[in-house]
Structure 1
């Protein structure tokens, strides 16, 4: 009877696999889960305190990025300054001269560019997040950038997440030439989405910008020249000798491993969290960066 009962007892289901932490996921990543920054699409903003590395986004703002490459190759920003640090908002740099005649010449760069608020490029692959968003019909990642998307017309745009880089403009939509760039250093101002030409994101060195003293003038502009942060140089990585480049890889956002990482942050299952959120905001998804092995 005991033998018969044992034979008829249902087999026990194996214990569910323990969810991996973000670090465990990254530790298990393969070389194919990472991508190397393109030197022609990478800007180095060199300050006395160190280097800020910016990945450019030509698929979203091709004319702006082309102009940025020209400005960098011709040394336009070298010797200019960071002129604005607005609390919980942005840091901005460019020519501080208010008189147009006193401003630095643009060289061969274009003086006028079209507004590039969204992209309808067929080459953009979009990797959607599972949760709803208040600012876009759909959100996810396109070419490694946090982005919004409207499936009805195919328009895609870079979201104003922490570290996003945009081109400053005046009231007119097409009043940007790329010389005035800003970086989001505060809580994501998503109301600016589809209102600015977004040119990239900071992948390393945000701490050098976020700690800058806040400007006391309107919109956080520095009121005195000595308050401004001098820019040593802004160059394309391809302009810099290979031995002096900052070697970085960024995690691809179109893989199963990245999906697992998103879920690990969306539903935290470590001992500290007593109730998983079941939701993640686009701008709270981590975008890991590492120094290549070897």
Structure 2
């Protein structure tokens, strides 16, 4: 992915600050996200790699997930293998815990399930080495958030994903913000294969960071994942089969007929418009917001997604 050279990055940030300032000068108010996005240039949007896009079709609608192979490459590849083997087709939403997660996979993999009826993983691996962190890679795009963080020395965005890092250990990792897609596991760190996944649907449980692999994030469809009835069993698991929602299909975008592919674009998080969105949210001032917060936390920033024109 293209990175901006330091001199150009500095210029882009100046432009980012100048844009909301100029718009505010005209109206006396902080520009809205829509106003800022309407001024975004075409090159500030990226089209995700079809090999990294998973499309899950539910009865309620479509959920689109972008995998993060630069951070969890083994899990991304195993999930691709599972999807191409139609592993998830006909499985179910098995758990919805309020203010926490929606989880999907094989119902027989639950503690009360019949393990003799477990669906075969096909060519996918049953176990994988944990991918909770990765070495900091200066070749990856990085947009730092200077407001501080409770859970990490430094946070920011890379390739559209919220990321934390610690330069003293030389490690960085994906964070459990709203919409993050993680890999469920048992106690053993190698037991998370990607055959059971969860999406964060509540307040960001950042204490999970570096304890579970985050394999991607939801680009579209959170309105479906967050609206399921909450499970009544322990940890939000559904206690009766009729409570579960059946997954109609899960497909890689690369394997879908061109005419059926959702055409999405994601705002580049190393772009001037993204920087302007952060600044506008940090120092919002209008008829309703009379006291700007002056700061912003990592998980309160949503990376814009749009249908390609």
Residues 96, 102 of structure 2: 8 Å contact kept: yes
Match of 2:55 among 44, 49, 55: 44
Deviation at 1:234, TM superposition (A): 0.8
Deviation at 1:273, TM superposition (A): 1.1
Which sits farther off after the overlay, 232-241 or 116-125? 116-125
Work out whether 1:54 is the aligned partner of 2:65: yes
Deviation at 1:99, TM superposition (A): 3.0
Give me the TM-score of the superposition, normalised by structure 1: 0.92
Which sits farther off after the overlay, 120-129 or 187-196? 120-129
Work out whether 1:24 is the aligned partner of 2:35: yes
Aligned-partner SS, 1:257: helix
Counterpart in the other structure of 1:136? 152
Larger radius of gyration: 1
Counterpart in the other structure of 1:234? 250
Task: Please show how residues 66-81 of structure 1 align to structure 2 within 5 Å.
Answer: 66-81=77-92
Deviation at 1:77, TM superposition (A): 0.5
Work out whether 1:279 is the aligned partner of 2:301: no
Task: Please show how residues 19-168 of structure 1 align to structure 2 within 5 Å.
Answer: 19-97=30-108, 98-120=113-135, 122=137, 123-168=139-184
Residues 59, 121 of structure 1: 8 Å contact kept: no
Match of 1:205 among 203, 210, 221: 221
Deviation at 1:154, TM superposition (A): 2.6
For structure 1, list consecutive stretches of 5 or more residues without a partner in the other structure.
1-15
Aligned-pair Cα RMSD in Å: 1.1
CA offsets 1:191-216 (integer angstroms, 9 cap, x no match): 00111011000000000111100000
Residues 102, 198 of structure 2: 8 Å contact kept: yes
Whole-Å Cα distance in 1 between the matches of residues 279 and 302 of structure 2? Answer: 11
Aligned-partner SS, 2:134: coil
Deviation at 1:243, TM superposition (A): 0.6
Counterpart in the other structure of 1:190? 206
Deviation at 1:41, TM superposition (A): 0.1
Residues 136, 165 of structure 2: 8 Å contact kept: no
For structure 2, list consecutive stretches of 5 or more residues without a partner in the other structure.
1-20, 25-29
Residues 83, 221 of structure 1: 8 Å contact kept: yes
More helix by share: 2
Whole-Å Cα distance in 1 between the matches of residues 115 and 140 of structure 2? Answer: 38
Aligned-partner SS, 1:174: helix
Whole-Å Cα distance in 1 between the matches of residues 236 and 297 of structure 2? Answer: 27
CA offsets 1:34-79 (integer angstroms, 9 cap, x no match): 0012110000010111110000000110000000000001100101
